[in-house]
Structure 1
Amino acid sequence: MQRRHLLLAATAGLAAPALPRLARAQAAVTMRLSHQFPPSHQHAGILVAFAERVKARSQGAIDVQVFPAEQLAKAGENFPGVARGAFEAAAAVNFQWGNTLPEMNVITLPYLFTELERIRKFPGSPAAQYLEGLLQKRAVRNLMWLYTTRQAIFTSGRKPLVTTDDFKGVKIRGLNALTDHALTAVGAAPSSMPGPEVPQALQSGVLDAGLTDVSAAVSRRFYEFQKFGTVTPWFCVFTHVYVNPRWFDRLSPEHRAIITESAAQAERDQIPLTEEVAAKALAELKARGMTVHEQTEAERAAWSAAMQKPVVDAFLKLAPEGGARAIELLRAL
């Protein structure tokens, strides 16, 4: 009998340490985050820092696994993947929602929302909350807004694009069918294509001119095959990270708070970083030999008068229910 008690006590002693291990295993959280940016992009760095912050604050209980450069899923596969729960989170550029959620294009309407003071106010604003509500109806929950750019550069090889007349007959890279209305309005022939394909198209003559943000013009070496560049606050772009709401709601309140607070920190960190990257990119384009023209206020007004209304009109047709409200909220910032 005494031996039996000793065996039971020993068994209990061996089993006891396993309970905390089991509890830790059940509490562990994995968050797979897919995005399209290469590891060198400023957003990739911010998302790695976000993952590290979450891991530190949760004492290792939350493992955010970041998959850059479409390693987990292609850009077009991210939304259905997160909505179905195939993975927990993804990042998208706002205008990539296209016709699926046309109101998301409001941020990128030409000359509508490019002042840094207003951009700083966007995360957490009624405008952001309105778009987040629309995302919620699409079975995803927004987590953070990462400021991407507010300065476009129109590059060209034969002559600079300074006046609206300079666009006539120019084959130019467009962003999407919506913003292409601005380019056709001034006589250009836009052709939408993914950013990585643009350098080859410019070098081969398929395109005469490029449209991108100043940082991408450096990373894709536009200065090697485009002589001129006109810099203008033509658009604003945000990249946002969204999560599967069913997964997020199953997390403990403590874990949700850690992820949310770390996301807010990433939003704050991204704004000065993007401005710094853009300033360095502009200086590098000049140093590499590109003739860069920074648009004057008068030139900006002329471009805006010719380009903005056709895009706004098309936007309101594309988003008849919420487009006007989205513009109103953005203008109120």
Structure 2
Amino acid sequence: MTLTQTLGSTFKASLKSLTCAAGLALGLAQGAAAADYVLKVSAPIPPTEKDVVYAWMVAFEKGVEESSGGRIDVQLYPANQLGQLPAAIEGVAMGTIEVTFSIIGFFSSIDPRFQVLDAGGLFPTAEVAMSTLQKPEVREMLTGFGANAGVQPLTVLIDGQGVIISKEPIEAMVDFIGKKVRSGGATPLLNEPLQAVGAAPVAMSLGEVLPALQTGTIDAATNSMGVVNAFKMYDAAKNVTYLPGNYTTVGAVINKDFLAMIGPELGQIVYDEAHKAEAVVARHLANAEKLDAAWEANGGRVIRMSPSEVKTYLTTIAPVVSKIVGQSAQMQADYDLLETAAKAE
């Protein structure tokens, strides 16, 4: 082959490579630009599918992107990447974040109706609680929550039976007395039952709990087994006590302007996939024993109060819950609907 032929072949090969590279770059650019909308999902929990919230987020992302044909790009931001809960909730109300998760009590800052979901003693089991929340009449009621704040519930989940993590064991009613306990919000239905059993509730976002336990700012904190395991809270406190009649309720709200912007067809896809993703909850609740075992494997202790202490606890908080619910006609109506739906299970 002559030098001219060699140079010619080299030029052609280079041109072909450049053309292929340009085509690939164009294809990637077109793929990146394929999504018409970005839907950011914020959550305080770390990225572990042992936690029901993150498992839901992953299922939701996959479902929405597939069902929308890639028109919606779902982006997940766990571990408070978009800010602590108060800021994230404000972000959704303002439209800078499309969706955020929170333990349900913190949403009462934008609409007091959310707090009815914190009523202790309303459900007999976590499974009944989740099934109740999925009933059509309950979903219909929930659509009105947050309406005046520009948000709407996207999903409401049960993250298992509520627990209280503590440095000193809580085995009986007397053990609550004098304890500074983190609660998931500043609402009466969260805090007054704790006061009734002798504790001193402190409203605190999830990201603050571990350092507060480590420094002694609080003595205990309410949460779920999935979360205390995910955050490795056994490094700060070893005891976890299941709270009778208490089921950790978490939810996600979506910005209503975003729903209006994407239109009814895509909006329906978002809601359908949010509900389909709730299938992860049953698997999560079925793994409760594994969460207990994981806690104990890391040196923790799981405590269940005796039947007599459970009865005393529920008897103590029942009139407190009834009094608070009865102070608002709207809350009473919401509570009655939930109670009726739960009893029909």
TM-score (norm 2): 0.77
Q: Compute the displacement of 1:170 (Å).
A: 2.8
Asked whether the 8 Å contact 1:107–1:237 carries over to 2, the reply is no
Asked whether the 8 Å contact 1:88–1:243 carries over to 2, the reply is yes
Task: Find the residue that maps to 1:295 and give its secondary structure.
Answer: coil
Residues 287-326 of structure 1 mapped to structure 2, 5 A cutoff: 287-317=297-327, 320-326=328-334
Instruction: Please name the residue that 1:140 is paired with.
Output: 151
Asked whether the 8 Å contact 2:84–2:207 carries over to 1, the reply is no
Q: CA RMSD in A?
A: 2.9
Unpaired runs of 5+ in structure 2? 1-28
Q: Distance in 1 between matches of 2:272 and 2:255?
A: 17
Asked whether the 8 Å contact 2:165–2:220 carries over to 1, the reply is yes
Letter in 1 for 2:113: E
Q: Which of 321, 340, 344 is the aligned partner of 1:332?
A: 340
Instruction: Please name the residue that 1:230 is paired with.
Output: 241
Letter in 2 for 1:54: V
Letter in 1 for 2:252: V
Is 1:194–2:208 an aligned residue pair? no
Unpaired runs of 5+ in structure 1? 1-20
Q: Distance in 1 between matches of 2:119 and 2:135?
A: 20
Is 1:246–2:254 an aligned residue pair? no
Asked whether the 8 Å contact 1:107–1:113 carries over to 2, the reply is no
Change (3 A) 1:210 1:322: same
Instruction: Please name the residue that 1:7 is paired with.
Output: none
Letter in 1 for 2:98: E
Aligned structure 1 segments of 4 or more residues deviating by more than 4 angstroms: 24-27
Q: Distance in 2 between matches of 1:287 and 1:69?
A: 24
Q: Which of 167, 176, 194 is the aligned partner of 1:167?
A: 176
Aligned pair count reads: 307
Instruction: Please name the residue that 1:66 is paired with.
Output: 76
Task: Find the residue that maps to 2:277 and give its secondary structure.
Answer: helix
Residues 70-81 of structure 1 mapped to structure 2, 5 A cutoff: 70-81=80-91
| Structure 1, 102-111 or 253-262: larger mean CA deviation | 253-262
Q: Compute the displacement of 1:303 (Å).
A: 0.3
Instruction: Please name the residue that 1:128 is paired with.
Output: 139
Change (3 A) 1:232 1:57: same
Q: Which of 207, 218, 233 is the aligned partner of 2:229?
A: 218
Asked whether the 8 Å contact 1:90–1:243 carries over to 2, the reply is yes
Is 1:38–2:46 an aligned residue pair? yes
Q: Distance in 2 between matches of 1:26 and 1:285?
A: 44
Q: Compute the displacement of 1:280 (Å).
A: 1.7
Asked whether the 8 Å contact 1:90–1:242 carries over to 2, the reply is yes
Q: Distance in 2 between matches of 1:67 and 1:227?
A: 29
Q: What do the CA deviations read for 1:24-82 (whole angstroms, capped 9, x no partner)?
A: 97982322233322222432232122112222222222212222223234422334433
Asked whether the 8 Å contact 2:34–2:71 carries over to 1, the reply is no
Asked whether the 8 Å contact 2:44–2:207 carries over to 1, the reply is no
Instruction: Please name the residue that 1:3 is paired with.
Output: none
Q: Which of 174, 177, 184 is the aligned partner of 2:195?
A: 184
Letter in 2 for 1:332: T
Q: Compute the displacement of 1:225 (Å).
A: 4.2
Asked whether the 8 Å contact 1:155–1:210 carries over to 2, the reply is yes
Task: Find the residue that maps to 1:129 and give its secondary structure.
Answer: helix
Instruction: Please name the residue that 1:286 is paired with.
Output: 296
TM-score (norm 1): 0.80
Asked whether the 8 Å contact 2:223–2:248 carries over to 1, the reply is no
Change (3 A) 1:128 1:233: farther
Q: Compute the displacement of 1:283 (Å).
A: 1.4
Instruction: Please name the residue that 2:217 is paired with.
Output: 206
Task: Find the residue that maps to 2:258 and give its secondary structure.
Answer: helix
Change (3 A) 1:279 1:28: same
Letter in 2 for 1:300: V
Q: Compute the displacement of 1:286 (Å).
A: 2.5
Task: Find the residue that maps to 1:142 and give its secondary structure.
Answer: strand
